[in-house]
Amino acid sequence: MITLPSDRHGLVHRETALAAGFTDDEIRRELRDGRLSRVQRGVYVAPATRSPEAAHRLAAIASAETSPARAILSHQSAAAMHGLSMLRPDLQRVHTTNGNLTGGWRTSVRQDHVGLLADHELTTVDGVLVTSLERTAVDVARTTRGGFAAALAVFDSALRLGADREEMTGALDASRRGVGPARRALSLADGAAENPGESWSRALMIEAGLPAARLQHTFVDGHGNDVARTDFDWSGRLVGEFDGDVKYQRYLRPGETPFDAMKREKLREDALRRLGIMVIRWTWTDLVSGRLVTMVREWLVRLDLMAA
């Protein structure tokens, strides 16, 4: 086992390793034995469990650092750098923008977009040049194949991270492609939605014409003690909770298991019901199948919160 030189991102560059006296045979042996994995040609990293977004972030950094020209990461790649949450993003290619009106191109692993970029639309993240948070959210919302829900998810996330809504509106006004759905999504975006699943839930309910829910409200008991902070609620009588893949991870305390957190979540739900509040829950499967709208509508009607 050898220790190859890595940069501040943990990336091992072949040229740097060779300059330090290592050989291609040694690099190939590290790859073969599973101590390195390939990020792109000539760039490697120690294997680890990474989310698709985290893996794409490394690929984007590697692409930017090895590009012979000034590469400005944009679209989904800039979103991964900023930590923007996206709904089912296509992370097949690293995205850059060339700052010109012509000259765009695409390969199987990279897409270079055309487009002028003002100075205020550029920033650096971890030493890498990227489009600003606002410009990135707008670019993703305009070009996503996920429609209104995906556009809403990225705008919700941008607002959570402190993006300026007026600046995003201005960026949309200066754009052409995909601005209609993106404008609608931005007008309804709410940084209180905490993840793409909640944003998708909101999008489905909006498109179905259901009454708007209050987001992230904290309920208290008769003694003024906090009972629960909920994902969605309608008039304080119906609560909706989205159970994502890592729902209970956010409830974990030191030394606890997800099962411990699940038990506490059950007690939390019982406390809400003692206040006379109905609690309903849904999962990714309910979003994919469309059952969410039927479920919410049924309870809104049953509780006289909307007409049948």
Pair (167, 94) in one structural domain: yes
Residue 239 neighbours by CB distance under 10 Å: 25
- Residue 173 in any domain: the answer is yes
Domain endpoint, select from 199, 226, 254: 199
- Residue 308 in any domain: the answer is no
In the numeric block, the tokens 């920033």 are attached to: 123
Structural domain boundaries, residue 66: 52-199
Strands 37-40 and 128-131, how do they pair? Answer: unpaired
- Classified as helix, coil or strand, 40 is strand
Task: Look up residue 276 and give its amino acid.
Answer: G
Sign of torsion, CA 175 132 192 252? Answer: positive
For the record, the structure tokens of 89 come out as 């993003």
pLDDT of residue 2: 85
Q: Which residues contact 123 (CB under 8 A, 6 or more apart)?
A: 129, 130, 131, 132, 133
CATH of the domain at 278: 3.40.960
Pair (80, 124) in one structural domain: yes
Domain endpoint, select from 130, 165, 199: 199
Pair (86, 152) in one structural domain: yes
In whole angstroms, what is the distance from residue 190 CA to residue 202 CA?
10
Question: Do the Cβ atoms of 86 and 196 come closer than 8 Å?
Answer: yes
What is the distance of C-alpha 227 from the center of its chain? Answer: 29
In the numeric block, the tokens 């298991």 are attached to: 257
For the record, the structure tokens of 11 come out as 């990336």
In whole angstroms, what is the distance from residue 245 CA to residue 111 CA?
31
Pair (255, 189) in one structural domain: no
- Residue 253 in any domain: the answer is yes
Q: Phi/psi at 24 (nearest 5 deg)? A: -65, -35
Pair (164, 225) in one structural domain: no
In whole angstroms, what is the distance from residue 208 CA to residue 150 CA?
16
Pair (162, 223) in one structural domain: no
pLDDT of residue 265: 78
Total domains in the fold of the chain: 3
Of 171, 147, 177, the C-alpha closest to 158 is 171
Pair (98, 27) in one structural domain: no
- Residue 150 in any domain: the answer is yes
Pair (147, 118) in one structural domain: yes
Pair (65, 122) in one structural domain: yes
92: which DSSP letter? S
Residue 153 neighbours by CB distance under 10 Å: 31
Residue 134 neighbours by CB distance under 10 Å: 23
pLDDT of residue 264: 76
- Residue 307 in any domain: the answer is no
Write down the pTM of the prediction: 0.91
- Residue 260 in any domain: the answer is yes
pLDDT of residue 251: 58
Of 173, 178, 176, the C-alpha closest to 154 is 178
Pair (28, 133) in one structural domain: no
In whole angstroms, what is the distance from residue 137 CA to residue 131 CA?
9
- Residue 5 in any domain: the answer is no
Of 207, 230, 217, 193, the C-alpha closest to 293 is 207
Pair (88, 176) in one structural domain: yes
- Classified as helix, coil or strand, 163 is coil
- Residue 26 in any domain: the answer is yes
In order along its 308 residues, the chain shows pLDDT tens digits of 789 999 999 999 999 999 999 999 999 999 999 999 999 999 999 999 999 999 999 999 999 999 877 789 999 999 999 999 999 999 999 999 998 889 889 999 999 999 999 999 999 999 999 999 999 999 999 999 999 999 999 999 999 999 999 999 999 988 878 899 999 999 999 999 999 999 999 999 999 999 999 999 999 988 888 999 999 999 999 999 998 755 555 556 677 676 666 777 788 888 899 999 999 999 999 999 999 999 999 999 999 999 98
Pair (21, 132) in one structural domain: no
Q: Which residues contact 218 (CB under 8 A, 6 or more apart)?
A: 226, 227, 228, 229, 230
Question: Do the Cβ atoms of 151 and 144 come closer than 8 Å?
Answer: yes
